[in-house]
Amino acid sequence: MKRHRRKNVCSQHSNDLCAKIEHKKISYQELQRATTDFCEGNLLGEGSYGSVYQRAIEILLESVSIMIDVALALEYLHDGQSEPVVHCDLKPSNVLLDEDMIAYVADFGIAKILAETKTATETNTLGTLGYIAPEYGSEGRVSTTGDIYSYGIMLLETFTRKKPTEEMFTDERSLRQWVSTWLPDEVMEVVDSGLLRTQNEGDMVATQSNLITILELGLECSTELVAERIQIKEVLGKLNKIKRQLLQNQSV
């Protein structure tokens, strides 16, 4: 009897809570904009009652968060040790994601440890074509700035969905050169279309602005001149600022 009464009380309490919950009504047009016209790239799954989509802006929170995780790993390797560690083979396939979409940098098979008295070392072992810095191939010179170059290429690939090894890219036109040709005025020509449409015109403008900043950051990281490459701490500062802006837009 006691259990029976308790169950009734809980049921009544649940009913009261349900009665107080107000669900926001969303129009078909809002759903269409938020899911990039129900783009398959935003489709999470399908069931007997319908399909579940992810908002385009959430796909963008998520991509930025993954690249922040990778940058944090590089900061730890480069600045968090008594002797800097250079990964030497940073690329998407060496970044692992757990069930919470937290990124981890893996595969340290050809990583190098720099002595305190050195800012660079030499190696005969090269990383993956398309991601390795030019000085790796020409001089065999390894430094933390080489990882920054690889990170920049990854950043460009993440937001354009174009691999640096695709057939469209040659010695005359690399992924980096292709992106720089269209920035900043024609960013829509290079960015993955699934990241461009959001809920309203205001979000669209903000999203494009953030994407321009991200791609320009990728170009700063992957410049051929070693001395001009941005430091990983600056990368983290800029990406964290973008993430805060995207979170604000998502909550509106």
162 lies in a domain?
Answer: yes
Cβ proximity of 153 and 175 under 8 Å: yes
CATH code at 244?
Answer: 1.10.510.10
* pLDDT for 5: 42
Q: Total structural domains in the chain?
A: 1
Residue 7 pLDDT level (bands cut at 50, 70, 90)? very low
Question: Where is pLDDT greater, at 212 or 36?
Answer: 212
Whole-angstrom CA distances from 98 to 53, 62, 66, 91, 120 are 21, 13, 11, 17, 33
> Sorting pLDDT into bands at 50, 70 and 90, what band is 128?
confident
Question: How many CB atoms within 10 Å of residue 157?
Answer: 22
Q: DSSP of 133-149, one letter per residue?
A: -HHHHHH-EE-HHHHHH
Higher pLDDT, 56 or 156: 156
Looking at the domain assignment, is residue 2 inside a domain? Answer: no
Residue scoring higher pLDDT (33 or 220): 220
pLDDT (mean) for 99-119: 79
Q: Is residue 125 part of a domain?
A: yes
Q: pLDDT tens digit string along 157-207?
A: 999 999 999 999 987 899 999 999 999 999 989 998 777 655 456 667 778
218 vs 125: which has the higher pLDDT: 218
Q: Reply yes or no on whether 192 is catalytic.
A: no
Query: Residue 200 gets which letter from DSSP?
Result: S
Evaluate if residue 115 carries a pLDDT over 80.
Answer: no
Q: How many residues does the chain have?
A: 252
- At 244, is the pLDDT very low, low, confident or very high (cuts 50, 70, 90)? very high
Residue 235 lies in a domain: yes
Span 136-141, average pLDDT: 72
The percent of residues in the chain predicted with pLDDT above 90, rounded, is: 46
The band of 111, judged by pLDDT with boundaries at 50, 70 and 90, is confident
User: What number is the average pLDDT over the span 67-88?
Assistant: 93
pLDDT interval class at 21 (50, 70, 90): very low
Catalytic residue (one of 16, 69, 79, 89): 89
Q: Is residue 26 part of a domain?
A: no
More confident residue, 198 or 128: 128
Average pLDDT, the chain: 77
Confirm whether 192 is domain-assigned.
yes
The Cα 219–Cα 199 span in angstroms is 28
pLDDT attached to residue 164 = 95
Domain of residue 243, residue span: 59-251
- Strands 50-53 and 43-47 turn out to be antiparallel
Q: Tell whether the model's pLDDT for residue 56 goes beyond 60.
A: no
Check residue 44 and give its pLDDT: 44
- 51 has a pLDDT exceeding 90: no
The pLDDT assigned to 8 comes to: 39
Alpha-carbon distance of 100 to 77, in angstroms, equals: 23
Enumerate long-range contacts of 195-198, CB under 8 Å, 24 or more apart. 195/56, 195/59, 195/60, 195/63, 195/159, 196/36, 196/56, 197/33, 197/36, 197/37, 197/56, 198/33, 198/34, 198/55, 198/56, 198/57, 198/249
Is 52 part of any domain?
no
In whole angstroms, give the CA distance from residue 137 to residue 90. 15
Report yes or no on 230 lying in a domain: yes
Alpha helices by DSSP H, listed for the chain, are 2-20, 28-34, 56-79, 134-139, 144-160, 175-182, 201-221, 232-251
Residue 17 has pLDDT above 50, yes or no: no
For residue 95, what pLDDT is reported?
A: 94
pLDDT at 18: 38
